[in-house]
Amino acid sequence: MFIQLQKKSRTIRTCKPMTISLLSLSAILMLLLIFSTNPCFQTTQILLPNFNLNYFKNTNQETTPTNISHIIFGIASVVKSWDARKHYVESWWRPNGTRGFLCLDQAPTRHLPWPPTSPRVLVINQTMGQKDIPHTIRIARMIKDTFNMENKGVRWYVMADDDTIFFLDNLVDVLSKYDHNGYYYVGMNAESIISNSQFSFMMGFGGAGVAFSYPLANILAKNLDECLKRYHDIHWSDYILQSCVADLGVSLTQVKGFHQIDLHGDISGFLSTHPQTPLVSLHHLDMVEPIFPAMDRHQSLRHLMTSAKADQSRLLQQSICYNHPKNWSLSLSWGYSVHIYEKNIPPSVLQVPIQTFLEWRRGAKPAFMMNTRGLSMDPCDIPHYFYFDSVESGGGEKHEQVVTSYVRRFPRRLPPCMSNGNHSASYVEKILVISPATRLEMEGSRRECCDVIHVETQNVTTIKIRPCMEYEIMG
């Protein structure tokens, strides 16, 4: 189904003049009270200096934990590109579970009947009562139109693009850490310095996804039209919204799990060293190479969602462990990859991404909002690469474990590392990872530790993930 909001015709109401004395402060206060309650004066509400923001504060004081039903999504798209983008949205959208709208530029008549696997459609042009409005304005209007369409039992509004991938369980966990009755603007800037310089280091990039708490969405929606007039010379919707939010006295709360992916090329080095925070979103996957070797973009996305279905909380979370008898260092990105180095490398180095990717704008220096390790031809510094293959079983009689497997996707064409104590890892063809079947709690915790168990006759190495002991040091 799709929804078109009809433009309401204007009606002129006449009011009888009021006779009131202005000789005392009490009379002035009475006049203000009449203006605020008389229906003749109920027009667009404009935020005034020193206005009490608590007037708009969410009165829903539920104490139940935040869940997916408390979140409304606004997804920006256009009819022309929907066929090429819908697989992104449908990969994470949960019919009868998620709430929100696909915000289109026109009614998707050629896509009817509308499938239940996609969100409801909201035609933004119709809500503004005009055609061919600028794309930037239409996208910035999403927060107002989604708020007006659905605001009962809502704690958060999340705005994103149609090529944004969300990991809903992790999104719920992240947003539940904040008071939804407060004023929160949650998101992250880009991985590229040039992107942040061009727009703002204080802006949440809409492609990565931006979340507004209910009270902030409320006042933002009520003042958006005035804000669009104020910033009519800005041509980027993300920047407009950040400017509007700044005018309301709210700053960005950065969450590193939102990923704009303003990168090009092979981003495996980036995905293999995720920061210690839940993976919330990935954007621009059609601007980079498929994230798994020997797969196209659609296959890669479905494959990643297979591991996400098994355990979102650990997805891409890095664990580092060592096989000292063989002098190996192993870096695991759960549900994505395992790297084996044929020498001892400290965690402070292994947590830095290998720069397999390219700058968002070729030649921009410095390029990235992170440290990177350069690609080396030294076999001691180049790992053996293994990629997620399958979730093999629940593990154990009571299914207390999750077992994932990782396989070598292409042969290593380098000689062994010749450092002292080296043992070649070239014969290893498969890695099994055993992890607990419980959600990983990262708030105030350490990275999980792991032990390496080697089965010599099967060319298989097994890694068992576990909590770190109190005084344990990786290395």
Indicate which CATH number applies to the domain containing 226.
Answer: 3.90.550.50
Residue 212 above 90 pLDDT? yes
283: closest CA among 319, 224, 238, 337?
Answer: 238
Residues 342 and 457 in one domain: yes
Helix, strand, coil fractions of the chain, as percent rounded to 5: 30, 20, 50
239 and 383 together in one domain: no
Q: Residue 395 has what pLDDT?
A: 53
Residue 35 within any structural domain of the chain: no
Task: Give the end of a domain, one of 259, 274, 290.
Answer: 259
- Total domains, the chain: 2
207 and 349 housed in the same domain: no
254 and 323, same domain (yes or no): no
In angstroms, the CA 465 to CA 431 distance is 13
CA distance 56 to 372: 45
With contact defined as beta carbons under 8 Å apart, do 233 and 239 qualify? Answer: no
Q: Based on the domain organization, do 125 and 252 belong to the same domain?
A: yes
- Using 50, 70 and 90 to split pLDDT, how confident is the model at 410? confident
Task: Decide if 93 is inside a domain.
Answer: yes
Check: CB of residue 144 under 8 Å from CB of residue 213: no
Asked whether residue 345 falls in the same domain as residue 238, the answer is no
Q: Find the angle CA(266)-CA(267)-CA(271) to the nearest 5 degrees.
A: 150
C-beta separation of 455 from 434 below 8 A: no
pLDDT tens per residue, range 10-58? 333 334 344 333 334 343 333 333 333 333 322 222 232 333 333 334 4
More confident residue, 413 or 299: 299
Write the pLDDT tens digit of every residue in 118-142.
999 999 865 554 555 566 787 888 9
Q: Domain for residue 31, yes or no?
A: no
Which amino acid is present at 175? L
460 and 320 co-located in one domain: yes
Banded pLDDT at 3 (limits 50, 70, 90): low
CB under 8 Å to 474, separation ≥6 — which residues? 320, 321, 322, 347, 447, 449, 468
Strand 156-161 relative to strand 210-213: parallel, antiparallel, unpaired? Answer: antiparallel
Write down the pLDDT at residue 56.
36
Distance between CA atoms of residues 328 and 307, nearest Å: 26
102 and 215 inside one domain: yes
pLDDT in tens, 65-85: 999 999 999 999 999 999 999
pLDDT of residue 443: 83
Same-domain pairing of 253 and 382: no
DSSP lists the bridge partners of residue 452 as 463
Residue 436 falls inside a structural domain: yes
pLDDT in tens, 313-362: 999 999 999 999 899 999 999 999 999 999 999 999 999 999 999 998 88
Residue 272 lies in a domain: no
Give the whole-angstrom CA distance, residue 34 versus residue 47.
Answer: 18
Task: Provide the domain limits for residue 339.
Answer: 313-466
Nearest Cα neighbor of 2 from 79, 72, 70, 97 is 79
The answer to whether residue 44 is domain-embedded is no
